[in-house]
Every structure is written in structure tokens, then in C-alpha cells.
Amino acid sequence: MQYGLIGEHLGHSFSREVHARLGDYPYELRELAPEAVDGFMRAHDFCAINVTIPYKETVIPYLDKIDEAAAAIGAVNTIRREGDRLLGYNTDFAGLTDLVRRTGVNLCGLSVLILGSGGTSKTAQAVCAALGAREIAVVSRRAGNGAVSYEDAYAHYSHAEFILNATPVGMYPVQDACPIELDRFPNLRGVVDVIYNPLRTDLVLAARKRGIPAEGGLYMLVAQGVHASEIFMGTEIPPEKADEVFLSVQREKENIFLIGMPGSGKSTVGLALSEALDRPFFDTDDLIVQHTGMAISDIFREKGEQSFRDIEQEVIREAALHTRGAVIATGGGAILRAANLHAMRRVGRLYFLDRELENILPTPDRPLSLDRDALTARYRERYPLYCAAADVILPPDEDLSRRVETIRKDFLFR
């Protein structure tokens, strides 16, 4: 191993993709069980590495020297070998500082809650102090060692104005989790979550739903990666490189979800878009057929709409959980369940393919739109839901090539 990342579980990591864009050096992900860390660090058979949870404190006793910032924080996430000496750094400080500033919220004079008490929490405390926070409270599952419990946070820190999540709660693959109830903090001005997979955690989505500025951790990953790469290679990287790499990785990992009425052209547009962007294409109706071995109309007839919606929800959840960088066409009724929209928003951008009602034809394979009256009823009840769900609404008068180009430009250059 020359360069890379060590941690206990790395299935969520985007670090390889980040470093591939930063320099011409091999970068490996190395999962280490706790009992394997000692042998790895004593052998120090590497040029330079990044360190992630839960080893940012574990590695410190093996280092010959720690820079002042890492020593003050008490956590190391970057190690470089010089001969037989190991030097430790903390590039998370700079990365998290950039991420907090990205929210547009000035922490000076604010009351801040930091969720978690591990190595990342120590960095977060240092960042918030450096940015002038008036009050910093660390929240942990158990009170003690300077941390308060979540119950204490609700009871005594409801005035908090900024929340920073430094726990793994909500991280892939266990995404259906939010570490704290935002409604209990009426003065909240901003939220940051260091988790970057999924791109938008439940915490970030909950904040944005309430109109609160919120950012996930991808920008932090990229920004600290820039500083780590400088340490690896002993060179300077232009500041604008972080924005370039962030947008590139975000586009690579983000899905494109197409929503709209049956017959609005989602599959046709999706296939053309897949070819134009060189991305895999999936149709959730096709996935449902593969999953059940039954035609959609047969599921409706034999099991009913409720059963179909349950199956559809599970298929969308799985597609959103495990698929990255794809074009995904959804069924016409996918927007009827909030859980579907939530799953898609975590990892994608939603495009509504609007189409005039008179240009949509009822067909026998669409059980809820078998005739013109049924189709009209579905259109009227769903149209406002499509508009509310969409990040972008494509006007009905665009032809296939125009729709593909509109989506392509928005996705790549927004």
C-alpha cells in the first residue's frame, strides 16, 4: 500500500474517487479490524495514508511527531512517512471549516450543538471555537466527560442555533435514521452533517424541509482531501480545485430520477439520456416485474393497489440505496408516497416530464389509467404532486432531443 485510507468499515467511502481527481498516485481503501491496527501501524508499510473512524485517536501513539493543529485537537486523519518516522496531521479541520462556511451561516456568537464525542467531534469543537461560537455543547448517548445526553440537549439547549452531526447515524447502508429531532430547536439557523454517503442524509433533508440551510459532508471530504494530497505529494493545489472536484464527484454519484404520468415518455427520455451521459438506465416498473415475476397489471388485479405500492416502495428504496450515477425512470404513482420521494432526494435530482393531457393515451397495461376518464382523474390529482416534488419541470412542448439536452445541461452545469 503506497497511499490510501484505513478505517474499520469503508463501504461508504468516496475517497478513492476524490484522490483520483487530485493527483497521479495509487489510492487504496484498506479496512482494518481493531486488532489489526497495531500490526499495520508498526509495519508502516506505506508512503502516506488517511485515517477515518474509529482510528483517528487510535493511531496517535504510533506517531513520531504530530503537527500543532492535530495535537491541539487530539485527532489525526493524515499520516506521512519520512524514512522510519511517522508524521501526523489533521486536515479535517480545514475541510470542516470550509463546509461550515458553505452553509452561509456565521457561527460567531451562536450556540452550537455537536452530536458525537469521537475524533471527528474533537475536530468539530475546534472548528466551532475558531469560528467564534459563543457556546458549544457536545451531545452523546451517555452524559459524561464533558458531554450531555440527548435528553439534556432537548431540555437545556433548545435555544441552540446551529447543529453539527459528527456521528455515523444516517450513513450508508443504514440511511433511515436521523440523530436528533430538529423541531425541538426553534432557533435553528443552520445544520451540517459530516456524512457524505448518502449525499443528503435525513438530517440534511429535514433541515432543508424547514427552510434551514444545511449541507452534507461531501465538500468536507473533498476539501480535506485537497489538503491531504498536498501533504502526500509535498505540492500546492490551487484553491479552486476543491470546487471542481466536489462538483465532479457529486455528479458522478448522483442519480437522475424521472417522474411523470404514465405515457409521458420517461422510459424513452431515460434511455436517450443514459446514452448521452454514458450512465446505466433503470425503470422501476421493470424492476418490480423482475422482483415479483408478475406483470404490473397482474399485481394490481391479484393483490391490489396497496400491495403494488408496497412493492414499489421497496424497489425504489433499494434502487436509491445501492445505485449511484444512474438514470432511473419511476412509475407514474411513485410520487404518491413520501417515503419514495425521501429515498430519491437522498441520492438524486428529480425531473418532472410534463406533458399535455390530450397527448397522453390510456393503455391496458396501466391499471389506473385504462380509459380517458381514469387517465384524466389521475392527471388532475397527481399534477400538483409532480410539480411539488420536482427539482426541475420540463415543459410539455419539448421534443425528445430537447428534453434530453435540457436535463443534461441542468445536471452537468447547474
**Among candidate residues 38, 42, 45, 37, the one with its CA nearest the CA of residue 28:** 45
Cell of 206: 429535514
- Is residue 409 annotated as a catalytic residue, yes or no? no
Cell of 112: 452550537
| pLDDT of 254 above 80 | yes
Residues 273, 399: Cα–Cα separation, whole Å: 13
Residue 50 pairs in a beta bridge with 5, 78
Per-residue pLDDT tens over the stretch 94-119: 999 999 999 999 999 999 999 999 88
- Residues 139, 142, 145, 146, Cα dihedral to 10°: 30
* Of 212 and 297, the one with more pLDDT: 212
Amino acid 348 reads: G
Cell of 8: 474499520
pLDDT-based confidence at residue 364 (cuts at 50, 70, 90): low
**Among candidate residues 198, 197, 157, 196, the one with its CA nearest the CA of residue 180:** 157
Say what the pLDDT of residue 246 is: 97
| pLDDT of 365 above 80 | no
Burial class, 348, CB count within 10 angstroms (exposed 0-12 / middle 13-18 / buried 19+):
buried
Residues 113, 190: Cα–Cα separation, whole Å: 11
Superfamily of domain 254-413: P-loop containing nucleotide triphosphate hydrolases (3.40.50.300)
Per-residue pLDDT tens over the stretch 21-70: 999 999 999 999 999 999 999 999 999 999 998 999 999 999 999 999 89
Pairing of strands 85-89, 78-82: antiparallel
| 3-class DSSP state of 362 | coil
| pLDDT of 408 above 70 | yes
Say what the pLDDT of residue 89 is: 97
In CATH, the number for domain 94-216 is: 3.40.50.720
Residues 362, 375: Cα–Cα separation, whole Å: 6
The domains of the chain are located at: 3-90, 94-216, 254-413
Cα 28 to chain centroid distance, Å, stands at 22
Average pLDDT over residues 257-266: 94
Per-residue pLDDT tens over the stretch 207-249: 999 999 999 999 999 999 999 999 999 999 998 999 999 999 9
* 3-90 maps to CATH 3.40.50.10860: yes
Please report which helix (H) or strand (E) contains residue 397, including its range.
none
Say what the pLDDT of residue 374 is: 85
Out of 56, 122, 253, 266, the active site residue is 56
What is the DSSP code (8-state) at residue 169? T
pLDDT-based confidence at residue 414 (cuts at 50, 70, 90): confident
Average pLDDT over residues 400-409: 96
On average, the pLDDT of the chain sits at 95
Say what the pLDDT of residue 226 is: 97
Residues 15, 208: Cα–Cα separation, whole Å: 26
Residues 407/351, Cβ–Cβ less than 8 Å: yes
Residues 47, 28: Cα–Cα separation, whole Å: 12
Say what the pLDDT of residue 373 is: 86
Residues 212/185, Cβ–Cβ less than 8 Å: no
Residues 70, 91: Cα–Cα separation, whole Å: 8
Amino acid 104 reads: G
Residues 381/335, Cβ–Cβ less than 8 Å: no
Cβ neighbour number for residue 364 with a 10 Å cutoff:
9
Say what the pLDDT of residue 372 is: 82
Cα 222 to chain centroid distance, Å, stands at 13
Strand extents, DSSP E, 303-380: 327-329, 348-353
Sheet of strand 348-353, all strands in order from the earlier edge strand to the far edge: 281-283, 327-329, 255-259, 348-353, 392-394
What is the DSSP code (8-state) at residue 234? T
| pLDDT of 359 above 80 | yes
Q: Which residue has the cell 505529494?
A: 233
Q: Is the peptide bond before 198 cis (omega within 30 degrees of 0)?
A: yes
Look at the pTM and tell me if it is higher than 0.95. no
